[in-house]
């Protein structure tokens, strides 16, 4: 009897516990399902969400783009983002964007892994160079974004496929030559080098006269592709097939690698450049007086010089176009970040999300954000509208705008990933003397062709 009773008691206890748990879960469900989980006094936009509607839409992004100053990695830009999000939330009371912040290192891999299994997030912020890799999964934004012709050409070429705009490119950046004006005055004629020859001569003199490198660069592909593009080189044709084996392109590739090798051979650049993988390393060496010139990103003058300097010494650093083989044709690599939608359709949640994303590239929102964050708009009209974007807010914005005229984006084809990693390996092999420019170029061409054909 006792056993029987105790068994019944256990069952009763389990039943009661189960009912309690089910009730609690039902309560939770009821709260989120009825749309009443937020009080009127709750803010419309927080670090975790945009809007208070019952219909939640997950969105992957970075803490750089948080609308909350306290959580944002760029607090100065948070008010502009918050204003933009509030506008969307007020017009979409039934929906809510749940912001999911991603660790940068794993973001792209997680996104591609989920997308290839048919389960991408509804939407995500995307580095512009990821866009070609997710073409197959992105949904068109054409009907939601106005005046696509206003974007710089490189934006239209990369973000558009078969006439559809697939990503909202919200800001861009460019690479340029940073140089110490005082050293250029002392060792040169005060003008920054415009050609490879100028750079080797001036850099060599500075390296010989100072305890510093004449010139440094990041060994990544994108920092060095402008040398190739500046000779008229093409990586792929209009269909995305690699064309590096065409004589003119092969020649441009060999010359580019030869120039980088020459920089090391002639002592302008130390061999340790092979280990420079981050732009921050270049800025740190520049601040420490270890280099006189380097190719960096436009954002660095504000972030890595002005903001970390205790005095006006950052003003010694000026910017110019990247020196080219000849001074009649310049090029720079342009990047930046975009927003994309993976939800199919043009109604309900998909429409709400596409409208959310399209707001990032509305001229006013773009101008306010770029002005606050010190970034470059992707719409030409925004540069010209003082109400939206004042180019006086950050140093050299007008110069950067000029550099964008020669902007070249990464080719909008998946084979670019292979070209990029092969070119980077070739640079490493050439500057460390493992390979001649000709042999390294041949390896690049062989491996890219083999990958494309496979």
Partner 1 sequence: VATDSNPPTGDGGERLRDGIDWRTVVDHPLPWLLPALGLLAVFQLYPMVEAVRLSLTDASLLRPTAAYVGLQQYARLVTADEFWRMLRVTGVYAFSSVVLHVLLGLLLALAIDYGVRRGLYGHVTTRVAVLLAWVVPGVIIGLVWKVLLIESEFGAVNHLLGTVGIGPVAFRSDPTLALASTVAAGTWRGTAFAMIMLYGGLQRVPRELYEAARVDGAGRWNRFRHVTLPQLKPVLFVTTVLVSIYALNTFDLIFALTGGGPGRATEVLALFMYQEAFAEHSIGRAAAIAVVMLAANLLLTAGYLRAFDVREEL
Q: Does 190 bind partner 1 (CB under 8 A)?
A: no
- Start-to-end Cα distance in the chain: 75
Nearer to partner 1, 107 or 396 (CB): 107
Q: How far is CA 234 from CA 118, 130, 196, 258, 418, in A?
A: 34, 20, 20, 18, 15
Q: Does 148 bind partner 1 (CB under 8 A)?
A: no
Pick out residues in 192-231 that bind partner 1 (CB under 8 A).
Answer: 219
What percent of the residues of the chain are helix, what percent strand, and what percent coil, each to the nearest 5? 50, 15, 35
> What beta strand segments (E) does 312-384 contain?
317-320, 332-334, 337-341
The pattern of x and - marking residues 375 through 414 that bind partner 1 according to CB under 8 A reads ---------------------------------------x
Nearest CA-CA partner of 225 in 444, 430, 424, 432: 424
Distance CA 253, CA 325 (A): 12
Nearer to partner 1, 381 or 421 (CB): 421
Choose the binding region for partner 1 from 318-326, 360-368, 378-386, 419-427 (rule: CB under 8 A).
Answer: 419-427
Q: Does 431 bind partner 1 (CB under 8 A)?
A: yes
Nearer to partner 1, 186 or 451 (CB): 451
Distance CA 404, CA 402 (A): 5
Choose the binding region for partner 1 from 36-44, 106-114, 381-389, 400-408 (rule: CB under 8 A).
Answer: 106-114
Q: Does 270 bind partner 1 (CB under 8 A)?
A: yes
Distance CA 228, CA 207 (A): 25
- How far is residue 424 CA from its own chain's centroid? 18
Distance CA 322, CA 220 (A): 15
Nearer to partner 1, 137 or 389 (CB): 137
Nearer to partner 1, 160 or 219 (CB): 219
CB atoms under 10 Å from CB of 454, counted, come to: 5
Q: Does 113 bind partner 1 (CB under 8 A)?
A: yes
Nearer to partner 1, 328 or 453 (CB): 453
Q: Does 428 bind partner 1 (CB under 8 A)?
A: yes
Q: Are 382 and 363 in contact (CB under 8 A)?
A: yes
Residue from 206, 243, 257, 274 in contact with partner 1 (CB under 8 A)? 274
Residue from 73, 277, 329, 345 in contact with partner 1 (CB under 8 A)? 277
Q: Does 145 bind partner 1 (CB under 8 A)?
A: no
DSSP 360: G
Nearest CA-CA partner of 62 in 50, 46, 47, 43: 47
Nearer to partner 1, 340 or 367 (CB): 340
Point out which residues bind partner 1 (CB under 8 A). 108-109, 112-113, 115-118, 133-134, 136-137, 219, 270-275, 277, 288, 290, 414, 417-418, 421, 425-426, 428-432, 434-435, 443, 447, 450-451, 454
């Amino acid at each position: 009897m006792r056993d029987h009773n105790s068994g019944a008691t256990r069952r009763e206890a389990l039943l009661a516990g189960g009912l309690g748990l089910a009730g609690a879960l039902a309560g939770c469900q009821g709260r989120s399902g009825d749309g009443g989980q937020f009080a009127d006094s709750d803010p419309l936009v927080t670090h975790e969400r945009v809007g208070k509607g019952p219909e939640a839409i997950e969105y992957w992004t970075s803490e750089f783009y948080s609308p909350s100053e306290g959580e944002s990695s760029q607090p100065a830009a948070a008010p502009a983002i918050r204003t933009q999000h509030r506008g969307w939330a007020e017009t979409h009371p039934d929906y809510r964007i749940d912001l999911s912040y991603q660790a940068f290192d794993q973001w792209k891999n997680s996104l591609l892994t989920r997308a290839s299994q048919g389960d991408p997030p509804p939407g995500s912020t995307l580095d512009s160079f990821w866009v070609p890799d997710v073409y197959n999964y992105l949904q068109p934004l054409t009907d939601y974004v106005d005046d696509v012709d206003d974007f710089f050409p490189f934006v239209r070429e990369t973000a558009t496929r078969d006439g559809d705009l697939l990503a909202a490119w919200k800001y861009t950046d460019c690479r340029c030559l940073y140089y110490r004006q005082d050293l250029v005055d002392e060792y040169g004629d005060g003008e920054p080098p415009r050609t490879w020859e100028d750079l080797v001569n001036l850099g060599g003199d500075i390296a010989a006269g100072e305890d510093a490198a004449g010139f440094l660069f990041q060994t990544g592909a994108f920092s060095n592709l402008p040398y190739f593009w500046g000779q008229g080189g093409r990586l792929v044709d209009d269909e995305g097939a690699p064309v590096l084996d065409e004589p003119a392109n092969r020649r441009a590739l060999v010359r580019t690698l030869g120039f980088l090798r020459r920089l090391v051979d002639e002592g302008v650049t130390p061999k340790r450049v092979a280990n420079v993988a981050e732009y921050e390393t270049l800025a740190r060496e520049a601040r420490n007086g270890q280099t006189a010139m380097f190719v960096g990103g436009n954002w660095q003058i504000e972030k890595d010089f002005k903001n970390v300097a205790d005095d006006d010494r950052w003003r010694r650093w000026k910017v110019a176009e990247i020196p080219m083989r000849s001074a009649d044709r310049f090029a720079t690599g342009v990047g930046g970040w975009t927003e994309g939608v993976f939800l199919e359709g043009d109604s309900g949640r998909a429409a709400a999300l596409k409208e959310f994303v399209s707001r990032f590239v509305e001229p006013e929102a773009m101008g306010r954000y770029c002005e606050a964050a010190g970034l470059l708009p992707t719409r030409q009209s925004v540069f010209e509208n003082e109400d939206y974007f004042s180019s006086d807010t950050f140093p050299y914005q007008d110069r950067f705008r000029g550099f964008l005229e020669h902007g070249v984006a990464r080719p909008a084809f998946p084979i670019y990933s292979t070209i990029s990693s092969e070119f980077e390996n070739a640079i490493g092999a050439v500057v460390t003397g493992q390979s001649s420019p000709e042999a390294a170029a041949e390896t690049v061409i062989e491996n890219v062709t083999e990958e494309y054909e496979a």
